[in-house]
Chain A
Amino acid sequence: MPSDFDTSDCYTIPGKLALPYTYFAGRVGSRFITTLRDRHKIMGVRCDHCDMVLVPPRQTCERCLRDLSDQWCEVGTRGEVVNYTVVRYPDRHQPRPVPFVLAMIRLEGADTPIVHLLEEIAPEQVVIGMAVEAVFAVKTTATIRDIDHFKPCDS
């Protein structure tokens, strides 16, 4: 690799983009968040055609495109780890100091997993198939972080 480029008197322009945004969560997403916030319950939607309970809930089933917006069902606040990874590089956009565990968790009664933080366990002790339960945040932010994290529990 050449490394002898002449960069004397070469000017670089420092820049910064400001791109503020607001996301309209929609009726389905809004009901999921308000139910989580106000009642500490996790809601999914059921697609009878595909015989699946989908969490996170969505207006349409991506498999058959049917409207599921009134097919609500409650799923458990406990579930099992179906996969996980350990985040080891620090960055200011990370939700936690490293190392921390991001796990895919399939809640009781759901057919699809959600991604969340898995804590109160050392990363090397996490195993696929282990039982976990939601720990709700003390203070609401009306986001998915109203579940503060998941922790191991008895199966």
Chain B
Amino acid sequence: MKKNRNVGIIGVGQSVYSSHREEVNQPEMINEAVVEALESAGLTIDDVDCIVHGNMELFEMVHQPDLWHTLGTGALGKESLRVTTGGTTGATLVAAADHLVASGLHDVVLAIGFEKLQEGHTTGGITNMADPLWGRQLQTGALTGMTAAQMIEEFGEERAKKVAMKYRILMDQHAMKNHKAHRRLGLSPDQADELMENSPQLVGELRMIHMCSQSDGACAMVFASEEKATALCDQPAWIKDHVTAHREEMFCIFGDAPVLSTHRYAARKLYQRCGITNPREEIDLFEMYDPSSWWGSDWLREFLLLEGDEHLKMIENDEIAMDGAFPVNPSGGVIASNPIGATAMVRVAEAALQIMGRAGEHQVPKTVNQALASGFGGTMWTVLTLLTRQVPW
């Protein structure tokens, strides 16, 4: 691995996340995030060389949104690029911005992810991902009960259900400290038993309470070359590395290819390249793309290369809480806020804010020297990004 030059995150902006943003149109909502990101970087739009824009294809039933969003993004007369890689779009936007700056092509890049899920039909859009001959007539969108079934089989019904619900309540407690989060329910641990039984079932033991929201919102981030980042920002969050891995579903995930989690594959590769031998010790914080509390619980094992029930213990003993040894999603995560084209970017943005010490009320009570962020999308598409407090290369 060789990087041409270092890239720092020097500004982060987020709109408020909500189920409905009737008072703003798409460019207006994006502009909220852009204005905040530029202010946070101490820049004006004139200082930006290139705009990278992304969201889910088909979700708002719009074509080439980057062009008419120029009103909100400030891309007029600038170089620009649109990225659309499904659920991982936000993380791929970060990867693209990193490449554009690291290559030397641009010094300052503004990346923007957005979604207004209330304006479209999410399942209608997602279903078109499937192969028209083999999958499209069978495909049901993004909900799956497989992980719940697997965890119940491996660890027993009582323990698995308790862990998933504890994860859910912890994430809500985190979201309560993030005033931009969409769902802040004020759950308390003594509600766990009642929710496990009475929350409506979606697929198997995946219940409504476990599942992420559908949100409207936008996120914007400013990336700068080492020279500019150092001059403009007291503490940038540096991009050390990122790894992308994905698999096709009909012939691959459900076929007879060997089962290998893209999460574990990407994590192994990332740690190997960056010399990390004990991720749980060497990484200070993890912003995970956790679409449900079953997935969030299960995927800890994959991302941290754990075996057995270590990941369950991390949840049971509060290790992943905001003030725990390995904080996961101090922002409240995806279960709290999920504007899909922005969601994976928000993971990197929130990890960056923690390194920069700018996370406000949900800032973790320790210095974050190294933070991990994951993106997830169909089908089994993983982007893992590693950020550092020190200049990495």
Which residues of A pack against B, CB within 8 Å?
A: 13, 15, 17-29, 58-60, 62-65
Contact = CB atoms under 8 A, between A and B. Distances in A.
A19 B61 contact: yes
Nearest to A22: B119
Contact of B121 (A21, A28, A65): A21
Majority DSSP secondary structure for residues of A touching B: loop
Interface in B49-97: 58, 60-62, 70-72, 74, 76
Interface of B: 21-28, 31, 34, 44-45, 58, 60-62, 70-72, 74, 76, 116, 118-121, 124-125, 128, 132-133, 136
Nearest to A18: B124
Contacts of A17: 124, 128
A59 B76 contact: no
B27 A59 contact: yes
Contacts of A58: 27, 71
Contacts of A13: 132-133
A20 B124 CA distance: 8
A19 B124 contact: yes
What 8 A-B pairs have minimum CB-CB distances, sorted nearest first?
A26-B25, A21-B61, A65-B74, A19-B61, A65-B45, A26-B28, A59-B28, A62-B76
Contacts of A64: 45
Contact of B71 (A23, A24, A27, A62): A62
B119 A23 contact: yes
B24 A19 contact: no
A63 B132 CA distance: 43
Nearest to A25: B25
10 contacts: A18-B124, A19-B120, A23-B25, A24-B23, A27-B23, A58-B71, A59-B28, A60-B28, A62-B74, A63-B76
Contacts of A62: 70-71, 74, 76
Contacts of A19: 58, 61, 120-121, 124-125
A21 B119 contact: yes
A45 to B, nearest CB: 11
Given A21-B120, A59-B72, A29 B25 contact: yes
A64 B27 CA distance: 15
Nearest to B70: A62
A62 B45 CA distance: 11
A74 to B, nearest CB: 21
Contacts of B76: 62-63
Contacts of A25: 25
Contacts of A18: 121, 124
A26 B71 contact: no
B58 A24 contact: no
Contact of B72 (A22, A24, A60): A60
A27 B124 contact: no
A18 B21 CA distance: 23
